[in-house]
Amino acid sequence: MNLGLSKTLVQRGLSAHAAIGLLASALLYIVCLTGTVTVFYEEWQRAERPDAPEMQRIAPDAVQRAVASVLASEKDRKATEHLYVHLPTDALPRTTVTTDHQAVHVDDQGRVVAKELNGWSEFLLNLHYTLNIPGMVGLTIVGGLGVMTIALSLTGLIAHPRIFRDAFRLRARDRGGLGLADWHNRLGVWTLPFALAIALTGAMIGLGSINVYGLAQGFYKGDMEAAYAPIFGAEGKPNAKPAPLADVAAALQTMTARFPEVRPIYVFMHEPGTAGQQLQVLALPQRRLVYGETYNFDQAGRFLGTVGLADGATGQQVAASAYNLHFGNYGGLPVKIAYLLLGGALCVVIATGTSIWLGKRERRGYRQPRLRNGWNAIVWGSGLALALTLLARLWIGNAAPFKTIFWLSLAVLVVLSTALPERYRVRRALQWSLGICVAALVPAVLGG
Amino acid sequence: MNQPSLLLWTSALLAAAAVCLLRFSWGKALRSAPLNAAAWGLLAFALAMGMAGAGAWGVAMVTLAALAMAFSCLALAAATAPPGKTGASNRRAHMLPEGQEPLRIGGRMVSFLLSVPGAMLVALILGLAARGAAGALGAHEADGNVLMLFLMPLLWAVLAMLILLWPQRRRQVGLLAAPALLGLAMLWMARP
């Protein structure tokens, strides 16, 4: 298949592809790398806290006891506004209660047994979501990188009109840049459906805040919650008057009796222990992309209705499908492994893109060893910096300053790599260092 | 195995077969339009079967099966292909000056401002206009809002690409100004 584009358009497509790539590639590579590692978010949490009690299911009464016990332990603090109970799933067979103040694991009797310690997993997720930049800014930048990925995919097709025709040719061994170009183009073409799906859903998630702000200003008198409500449902009216704790056990029993085909995975309580408290159960339907359906209950645990994420308006179902499609947690371990490989391939596409551009300049006589070393530091140094944070998790513990370690070590690696004279083999040194770190990590992570 | 599972497995196998057929067709010295059409048709049929078997989830699974087969073909090519005899392309991307060419920092900054914040703002206006139009046409509120959430990044990407494809500055500005004005007019008409 040849796209039949004019030479001028192809040349402009290449310029546009290179412009976007060079502008976004460093941050895009970090987001893509961390996204690939984040596919195993649940497994990382298990590795971080291997001694937490695990179970295939938990009895409704035990969940009720756990909620009551956690809230009782917070009597001397400001009342929590939200409480979440993570129920056992295949990927994370644990029960964890999270409030505004703490997160604890409970055993199958509902007894609090251990504090949740998943600082590294949370750091990793935050790095992927926001590049550790607080507030809307980080999220919007990452959303913008999703947009740039879509633009890169489109301009890549324009810049390479023979890309489909050569889709199965891969001269893997590099010779004068040919192998590198083949890796970039072949992996680029075959990751295209994945890249577009990931980029669009990622952009939708990342740009959600400013888009909903726009929706709120345009159609909901500035009320952002009102803009979200038609999609994800509305929160009830708060009423701080004390009231008995909602009957979580009755709600879970109702779920088992009335909806045996779905698996409850979360219990949400808003303003627990007040007259305005709201009780919801998030349950996962089989063979769906949606992250779940929200079942609403009254304080006595009587079923009120669903929000419609699984069977409501098309928009609700599409929005609820974006998250699982993005993170690859809709088909168990096989899909996670597929996402790991596809994410890895996307990292290779990004890494080789800038290397190809540098190689072309070198072949035309414009050698830029510092720029090349700097790019090598991004490609290999990002993985190395991430590995260092995980080593810090093992040696220092949950309270290790992961953000500082990651960004500081990456900055040092980039500065050192660009400053060192050309005779130093920066890439080889970074590859060896990464290899040693990974070799040190594998037994520790797999062995718990 | 129940019927949806059987349908899904069959569609996954058909998708993998479609990729193999594409590999065979594209590997021929002369391209065969009927073979190409058969491969793409088989892939479309497999995706439709996946949709029938398990909706969007089924489509995602069938797509992964097709990609797995494509990567297997690529792995085989990587292992067996001899090194290329010709050199790689040296096409210039015109990103950095060569020789005595000027750096054009100002021009590059303007291109950045037009294609990143400029295109984002216009995409936001158009997205909101689409939401307003959807509401005026009686669409469900959730459908309108989600349409906006997905349309905005897509439009931003397309606008950024078009700006970079059109080097004339006047055209670039027009490319943003015309849809922005149209979007603002639609928003004004659809205001609550």
Residue among B23, B131, B149 whose CB faces A168 most closely: B23
Residue among B36, B56, B152 whose CB faces A207 most closely: B152
Confidence of residue B84 (pLDDT cuts 50, 70, 90): low
Closest chain A CA to residue B147: A315
| Number of residues that make up chain B | 192
* Residues of chain B with C-beta less than 8 angstroms from the C-beta of A143: 153
Contact A219 B67 (CB under 8 A): no
Confidence of residue A443 (pLDDT cuts 50, 70, 90): confident
Give the CA angle between residues A296, A97, A224 to the nearest 5°.
50
Domain boundaries, given as residue ranges, for chain B: 3-77, 105-190
**Does residue A185 carry a pLDDT above 80?**
yes
Closest approach of B13 to chain A, Cα-based (Å) = 16
Burial pattern B100-109, b for ≥16 Cβ within 10 A else e, equals: eeeeeeeeee
Closest chain A CA to residue B53: A287
Average pLDDT over residues A375-386: 97
ipTM comes to 0.92
Average pLDDT over residues A27-48: 97
Q: Determine the pLDDT at residue A165.
A: 79
> pLDDT digits over A274-305, tens only?
999 999 999 999 999 999 999 999 999 999 99
Confidence of residue B98 (pLDDT cuts 50, 70, 90): confident
> pLDDT digits over A228-263, tens only?
999 999 888 889 999 999 999 999 999 999 999 999
Closest chain B CA to residue A211: B149
Average pLDDT over residues B123-132: 97
DSSP A97: E
Closest approach of B11 to chain A, Cα-based (Å) = 15
Q: Determine the pLDDT at residue A299.
A: 94
Helices (H) and strands (E) in chain B, counts: 6, 0
**Does residue A1 carry a pLDDT above 60?**
no
Average pLDDT over residues B67-92: 83
Contact B149 A204 (CB under 8 A): yes
Interface residue A55 vs chain B (CB under 8 A) = no
Regarding predicted confidence, which is higher, B117 or A170? B117
What single string gives the DSSP state of each residue in A18-54? Answer: HHHHHHHHHHHHHHHHHHHHHTTHHHHHHHH-TTS--
Confidence of residue A4 (pLDDT cuts 50, 70, 90): low
Torsion angle of C-alpha atoms B177, A215, A315, A194, degrees rounded to 10: 60
**Does residue B86 carry a pLDDT above 80?**
no
Confidence of residue B192 (pLDDT cuts 50, 70, 90): low
